[in-house]
Amino acid sequence: MRPEKKFLVEEVNTHLDKSDYMFLANYERATVVDIAELRDELNKEEAEFHVIKNNILKVAARDRGYPEIDEHLAGQNAIVIGGKNPSGVAKILTKYFDKKDKMDVKVGILSAQRLDRDEIVALSKLPSLEALRAQLLGLLSQPAQSLVFVLNGVPQAMLNVLQAKADKGE
């Protein structure tokens, strides 16, 4: 491989190292303003939009052991990577691409698993990581709360009996 191509592959690998997911987007009909708006939205999730050469991504994906995405590497493509919330990034992408009928998400890779367009849309509908953690914490604390109420019920019942006895004695 020529040194300049090797350099480009290393650059793409540097971008892919930033997260455990990657979305491949077609930006063929997008304007510079459209891409700038999308980049602004992605910055909120600390994600990045990078235009790449298809052959360079093909080599980098093979080097990383990614699932086969060669059939999607045609036309003008960009990768979206970075950030800690793939669900939030997928939400931004699907919402933006539905609004602007100029770009489209082709395929994604999440933890070395290939995601097609429908799976990316399903991922976008998941709650954020913080919301999932809060739901899990609520589920884990529910049995403890129930146990406290049960244990508190016995002394409370005893106090009620004693109070009734005291009220009756007056």
Rounded Cα gap, residues 94 and 121, in angstroms: 6
**In this structure, are residues 24 and 107 in contact, taking their beta carbons and an 8 Å threshold?**
yes
Both 116 and 133 in a single domain? no
Can you tell me which residue has the tokens 């009734």? 164
**Residue 43: pLDDT band with limits 50, 70, 90:** very high
CA angle 58, 85, 69 (to 5 degrees): 20
Q: How far is CA 9 from CA 42, 52, 53, in A?
A: 23, 10, 10
pLDDT digits (tens, 9 = 90+) for 96-119: 888 777 778 888 888 888 888 888
Both 155 and 109 in a single domain? no
Both 142 and 93 in a single domain? no
| pTM for this prediction | 0.72
The H or E element spanning position 79 is strand 77-82
> Going by DSSP bridges, is the β-strand pair 47-51/104-110 parallel, antiparallel, or unpaired?
unpaired
- Whether residue 133 has pLDDT greater than 80: yes
Phi, psi of 77 (to 5 degrees): -120, 155
Three-state secondary structure call for residue 54:
helix
Amino acid at 94: T
Neighbours of 42 (CB within 10 A): 21
Q: Please state the domain count of the chain.
A: 2
Both 96 and 132 in a single domain? no
Both 135 and 117 in a single domain? no
Both 34 and 100 in a single domain? yes
- Whether residue 148 has pLDDT greater than 80: no
Q: How far is CA 47 from CA 15, 60, 79, in A?
A: 11, 19, 10
Both 114 and 157 in a single domain? no
pLDDT for the residue numbered 170: 59
Both 65 and 87 in a single domain? yes
Both 16 and 59 in a single domain? yes
53-80: burial string, b at 16+ Cβ within 10 Å, e else? ebebbbbbbeeeebeebeebbeeebbbb
Both 99 and 32 in a single domain? yes
For the ranges 34-38, 43-47, 63-67, 125-129, which has the lowest average pLDDT? Answer: 125-129
* Domain extent at residue 17: 3-126
**In this structure, are residues 13 and 63 in contact, taking their beta carbons and an 8 Å threshold?**
yes
